Amino acid sequence: MNVYLLDDHALFSKSLEIAFQPMNITLSSFTEPSSLFYQLKFTQPDLILLDIHIGELSGFDISKDIIDKYPNQKIVFISGFNLLVYKNEAINSGAWGLLSKCATIDKIYDDLSKIHQGINLLPKNINTVEVTLSKREKQILTLASEGFKQREIADFLYISRRTVNNHLMSINEKLDVTSTISAVIKAIELGMIRVKGH
């Protein structure tokens, strides 16, 4: 099984290469999309493993470019975060799987082997999220996720603390939670806000 990996974390890529050595898999890693696309001109692998975020670039956008040029190429995403929005994007992109960087090497190998054999590990239907937050609500929740207190958020956005509190109450009601911490966690899981480093 020949696999190309695009991930800008060189340490993770190297670790995966070493871990795969005893197994029936050849892994070639790339840290830049341009290097991957150059290699694809000469050889298409059995699978392409893409990180969700390649620096400031989106792995989902990169996958669309790959499929445009090589329609039969199997794409598999890998991420350190199990977010609903990632799964939906992966399904929508036509990927064959979304693997976790937190999984064991045996689990990753087993999933790649199944995909190589033609088994799609993603469900066919896309989970839809009816809840929506306003731009201001997302701003406030993002700042809260970074550790800012209500007064600091109010000062930063030039609004009153009462307005911040009202927004947080509205967010809690929309997300069906009872605290700002729970709201932050749920909003991240649903892909409504993105915490730095995710």
CATH of the domain at 147: 1.10.10.10
Residue 147 lies in a domain: yes
Burial label for 70, CB within 10 Å (0-12, 13-18, 19+), is middle
Q: Give the SS3 label for residue 182.
A: helix
**pLDDT attached to residue 129:** 53
Statement to judge: residues 95 and 171 lie in one domain? no
pTM, 2 dp: 0.69
In this structure, the answer to whether residues 95 and 163 fall within a common structural domain is no
Are 35 and 108 part of one and the same domain? yes
- Render pLDDT for 60-116 as a digit per residue (tens, 0 to 9): 999 999 999 999 999 999 988 777 778 888 988 899 999 998 899 999 999 999 999
Q: What is the pLDDT of residue 77?
A: 95
| Co-location of 146 and 82 in the same domain | no
User: Are 160 and 76 in the same domain?
Assistant: no
Instruction: Please state, as a whole number, how many other Cβ atoms lie within 10 Å of the Cβ of residue 111.
Output: 20
Q: Which two tokens stand for residue 153?
A: 């958020």
* Residues in the chain where the model's pLDDT stays below 50: 197-198
Residue-level pLDDT at 128: 53
Count of domains for the chain: 2
Q: Are residues 141 and 112 in the same domain?
A: no
pLDDT at 118: 94
> By the 8 A CB rule, do 28 and 39 touch?
yes
Closest by CA position to 6, among listed 38, 44, 46, 52: 52
Domain holding 161, by residue range, is 135-189
Predicted local distance difference test score (pLDDT) of residue 30 = 94
Q: Are residues 55 and 95 in the same domain?
A: yes
For the sheet containing 26-30, what is the strand order?
A: 26-30, 2-6, 47-51, 74-79, 97-100
Residues 52 and 107 in one domain: yes
What pLDDT score does 198 carry? 45
SS3 state at 78: strand
122 within some domain = no
